[in-house]
Chains A and B, each alone.
Chain A
C-alpha cells in the first residue's frame, strides 16, 4: 500500500504515521491484524454478524483513540484488549439472553450458521475428516459451557497461540491467573468429552 512517505515502514513508524493522519498507514496497520481479529471473534461468538460488529467496533475504537496510544505496551496487546473486551461483552450478553445465535433452523434440521459462511481452516486436511459430526457437535457444546473468561483464555492460547504471559497482559490479569483459567477450561473440556475421544 502506498504511504505518504512511499517506503515500507515498521510497525512503530506505521503507528506514528497513522497518528499523524496517514490513512494508508492506518489501513496497513488494520490489515496486519484484521484477519486474526476476525478469526478470534468468529470462533468465540460463532456468529458472522456478531464477528462483523466486533471487527467494525474494534477498529473504529482504535481509529478514534490511536492518539492516546503511548507505546506503553505493544500495539498487538492494546488492540487485543479492545477486541477481547468487546467479545466478552457479547458473550456475557448472550449468556443473559440464553440465545442460541449460532444455530439456524433449516429443513434439514438445526444447522450451525457458521457452516454456511466460514471456510474450513485447511481444505483437504485429513485431520478434519477424522472426526465425525457428532464429535464436533460435542466439542462445540462443551466449549459453550465454559465461562466467557475460560472460553477467552482457551481461545487465545489454543487457537491464537498466545503465551499465557501475553494473555494475562491482554486480560489485565497475572500469568498465574490466566494459567488457572486455562487449567479449568481444559479440565472441563476433557471431562465433557468423556468417551467421545
Chain B
C-alpha cells in the first residue's frame, strides 16, 4: 500500500470502525474495511483502541436497583387503580352507560343489549312508580319473603324483566360472606391479606391487615406492601402501623428511602418524628451521606416542627455537615 493511498484509506477506514463494531456496515462496506485491516497494522491498532473506548462506555452504564423498579411498579399499580376508578366516579350513570356502548370493540355486541335495557327501563317507568316498585303489595307472599332476603347492603339488581300477569322478575347479584381461615404462610391467605392491605374503601381493614402483616415483615413481598402503605396510604394510622412493622428493617435501602419520603413530606408530625429517629439510629458512613442530603433539604424547606428541626440541626453538626448552606 503506497503511503499517500494508505493515509487516505486509513482515514476513511477509521471513521468506519465504530460502525464496524456495531455491525452497522453493509456487506460491501464491511468487506472493504476488513480487507484493509488485514493489510494495515496501524488501523488494527486503531480498531483495538476503538474496542477499548466502547468497553469503557459500558463501565458507566447504570442498572436500576431492584428496589427502584419495585417502587415504580407499585406506584404505577396505584395510579392505574386511580385512573380506573376516578373518571368513573365523576361520570353520571348515563355517561358511563353511553361510554360503555361507544367502546369500539364491545360496541357492536352491546348496542342491542343497550337497546333492550332501554326498552325494559321504559316499560318499568311506564308501569311502576318508585313507590309501587318497592311496595311489597305488588308482590305475592312468596316474593315478599324473597324480598326480605334481598338485603340492599349485600345485593344489587342485575336486571329486570316483565313476567306474565303484570308481574316483574328481578335478578339480583348478591354478595355473600365466606369465612376462610389458614396460616399466614399459606399462599392464598397471604394474597388475600396483601390485597386487603391496599383496599381503598376501608382504612380499618387496612390497619388490621397491616398489623397482622407486621408479624411477617421479614418476608420481602410483605415488606414491599408495608413500604407501599407507609408511602401511599391515605390514613395516618395505617402508615404508623406500617412504620412499626418496618422498624427492624430501618437499615435497608428501600425502607430508608420510604422513611426519607415520610420525613420530607408526610403531613403527620408523629410519623415524621419517628422517621427521623429511625433514619438516624446506628447509621453507617454510606448511609450518613444519604441522610445528610435529606436533613439539609428538610432545613432548606424551613421545617416547622421544632423537634425535627432541632434534631436535624444537631445531627448535621455532629456529622460536620453544612447546616446553613446547601
B79 partner, pick from A56, A67, A108, A139, beta carbons under 8 A: A56
Q: Is the CB of B62 within 8 A of A136?
A: no
Return chain B residues, CB-CB under 8 Å to A117.
Answer: 65, 68
B18: contacting residue among A55, A105, A136, A186, CB under 8 A: A186
A7 contacts the other chain (CB 8 A): no
Size class of the B contact interface (CB-based, 8 Å):
35 or more
Residue B184 lies at the interface, judged by CB distance under 8 Å to chain A:
no
Alpha-carbon distance A186/B50, docked complex (angstroms): 10
A73 at the interface (CB under 8 A from B): no
Map CB proximity to A onto B60-81 as digits: 1 under 8 Å, 0 otherwise.
1111111011011101110110
**B63 near A119 (CB under 8 angstroms)?**
yes
- Are A56 and B76 touching (Cβ within 8 A)? yes
Given A39-B64, A106-B289, A108-B289, are A52 and B18 also a contact pair (CB < 8 Å)?
no
Q: Is the interface of A mostly helix, strand, loop or mixed?
A: helix
Min C-beta distance of B88 to chain A, whole Å: 12
With A51-B64, A104-B293, A106-B293: A30-B76 Cβ-Cβ less than 8 Å: yes
- Do residues A19 and B59 form an inter-chain contact, with CB atoms below 8 A? no
A173 interface residue per 8 A CB criterion = no
User: Distance in Å from the Cβ of B17 to the closest Cβ of chain A?
Assistant: 9
A24 CB to closest chain B CB, in angstroms?
A: 11
State which of B15, B59, B320 has its C-beta within 8 Å of the C-beta of A127.
B59
- CB–CB B72/A52 < 8 A: yes
Contact A27 B77 (CB under 8 A): yes
Are B293 and A119 in touch, CB under 8 angstroms? no
Whether B93 is near chain A, meaning CB under 8 Å from some CB there, is: no
Does any Cβ of A come within 8 Å of B24's Cβ?
yes
Residues of chain A contacted by B319 (CB below 8 angstroms): 107
Q: Please state if B69 and A34 are interface contacts (CB–CB under 8 Å).
A: yes
Chain B residues with CB under 8 Å of A51's CB are 64, 68
In the complex, whether B94 has a CB less than 8 A from a CB of chain A is no
What's the Cα separation between A139 and B54 when bound, in Å?
Answer: 11
Known: A105-B326, A157-B22. A64 touches B83 (CB 8 A): yes
**In the complex where A60-B79, A63-B83, A107-B320 touch, is A114 in contact with B62 (Cβ < 8 A)?**
yes
Q: Does A38 contact B (CB under 8 A)?
A: yes
A181 to B254, CA, bound (A): 39
Query: Does B86 lie at the interface of the complex (its beta carbon under 8 Å from any beta carbon of A)?
Result: no
Query: B104 on the interface (CB 8 Å rule)?
Result: yes
Contact (Cβ within 8 A) B58 A39: no
User: B residues touching A (Cβ–Cβ < 8 Å)?
Assistant: 15, 18-19, 22, 24, 49-50, 52-66, 68-69, 71-73, 75-77, 79-80, 83-84, 103-106, 289-290, 292-293, 319-322, 326
Task: Give me 13 other A-B pairs in contact (C-beta within 8 A), A130-B59, A183-B19 excluded.
Answer: A27-B77, A48-B68, A52-B71, A55-B72, A60-B83, A67-B103, A121-B62, A127-B55, A131-B59, A139-B57, A159-B61, A182-B19, A190-B53
> Which 3 residue pairs are nearest across A and B when measured between Cβ atoms?
A186-B18, A118-B62, A121-B63
